[in-house]
Structure formats: C-alpha cells, structure tokens
Amino acid sequence: MGQLDGKVALVTGAARGIGRAIAEKLASEGADLALCDLQADWLTETAESVQKLGRKALCVAVDVSNWEAVQGAVGEVQKAFARVDILVNNAGITKDTFLARMSVEDWDAVLSVNLKGSFLFTKAVSRPMMKQKSGAIVNIASIIGLIGNAGQCNYAASKAGVIALTKSTAKELASRHIRANAVAPGFIHTKMTDALAEDVKAQMLAAIPLKRMGEPEDVANVVLFLASDASAYMTGQVITVSGGMVM
C-alpha cells in the first residue's frame, strides 16, 4: 500500500529537475499524476516513468503565468481524473544579475512565473479542493527567499513571496481541511544550478555543512511528506532542505 493510493497530484515544471523527481516520488507512493510544463512533449520521459510505476500520467502544456492557460489546465485535469488532491507549485526560473543592471523585463518575468504562477494554480485548484473538503498544496520556495542573495533580487523576492503566499493560503483554507506548506531547497543538482560558474559552485559547496549538493530526490522526499497524511497536523510551514546551509 502506498501513502498516496487513490490520490491525484498535479505537479508544475514536471519535465525535468526537481519537478520530475517529485512526480516520480508521488507516483511511487500510488498517486496518479497531472504533469504540467510549457510543452507537452517535454513531459514524455516523466510520463513514461510514472506509467512504469503503474500510475496514470496526463501531460498538460501550460504557461503557469497565464491565467486562462492555468484555468484550462486545471479543467483538463478535472475532466481526466475528476479530482485534485495534491498541488505542487514547482515551475520556476532565474534571470540573475545585479540590481542596478537588472531589466524591468527580467524582474517581471521571474515574478510572473515563480510567484504569480504559484498564485494562479493555487487559485484554480482551491475550488475543487474546497468542494472535496481536502487538499495538500506544496510550494517550492528557496533558501534565497529566506536569506536573499546578491545578483538574485528578483528571484529572492519571488521566493519570499511564495513563502508569504503559502502562509496566507494555509490560514485561509485550513477550515476546509486544505493544508499549504513550502519546501525551501538549497543548492540542488539540476539544469538550473549546472548553469552556475565553477567558482560560484565551489563557494556554495564550502558553505554546506553536509559537504555535497542536494539531489532532486532529497527535495522530493520532503514534498512527499508534506503531500501525505504523515504531515496531517502541519500547515503554513517552510521546511529547508539545504544540507544545513541555512539553519
């Protein structure tokens, strides 16, 4: 018996990296998956792994920052599965540069995907979850949303916003038995961090007490906990998964 047997989970940014690991982890515990990313064909590999685990996978193309597209995506998921039990707001981007050089477009782009996207999906699933009188929302924030970072003011602000969104959602929806929690990963091995310069990676590693980068599965394990009844008495919390980089 899996911890999520009979549940339907929607994961954004599920084509690769942390989102893919989360989708596979939730499927391994019995959930059927609605996989969302910018293009449906990018989701083929994730869908194949979910199906190999014996679960259903629906691939949905959606830009998380577009309200009409998000409404359409949640409609498609309800049509296919007739419910949504778990939402994982994972899609995220970076456009790093120092504040004085940051274009207004790069500020807007990062806030639109990371923060507005999380709001839009939360808003769209809140109706079916309120009708069901149950649900678990897990938002992927970042330690940068807690401590800030030079060269990432847009990203830091978006992730701090995700944390505030999580706590407000938790307060607003608790009476309907809908929980909202966040995971704040540190330095995780994905395409997002592969793009960093070697000296930046070395500096980051030196600051991690557990002396290794995290793997997507390290984050997925905590998402599973927050999505499952194992965390039934937790809402509005932020769990840091950073090898001790932030304590």
Rank residues 94 and 126 by Cβ distance to ligand NAP and give the closer one.
Answer: 94
Catalytic residue flag (residue 233):
no
Rank residues 64 and 178 by Cβ distance to ligand NAP and give the closer one.
Answer: 64
Please identify which residue in 9, 19, 160, 173 interacts with ligand NAP, judged by CB under 6 A.
19
**Residue 193 binding ligand NAP, by CB under 6 A:** yes
Please identify which residue in 18, 53, 163, 220 interacts with ligand NAP, judged by CB under 6 A.
18
Q: Are 180 and 162 in contact (CB under 8 A)?
A: no
Show contacts with ligand NAP in window 129-188 (CB under 6 A): 140, 142, 185, 187-188
Residue 140: in which H helix or E strand, if any?
A: strand 135-140
Please identify which residue in 15, 34, 156, 157 interacts with ligand NAP, judged by CB under 6 A.
15
Q: In the numeric block, which tokens belong to residue 24? A: 């596979």
> Please, which residues have CB within 8 angstroms of residue 63's CB and are 6 or more apart in sequence?
38, 69
How many whole angstroms separate alpha carbon 85 and alpha carbon 64? 19
57-91 as b/e: b if 16+ CB within 10 A: bbbbbbbbbeeebbeebbebbbeebebbbbbbbbb
CA-based angle 192:196:198, to the nearest 5? 140
Please identify which residue in 63, 85, 110, 235 interacts with ligand NAP, judged by CB under 6 A.
63
Q: Which residues contact ligand NAP (rule: CB under 6 A)?
A: 12-13, 15-19, 37-38, 63-65, 90-93, 113, 140, 142, 185, 187-188, 190-193
Task: Give the catalytic positions in this structure.
Answer: 155
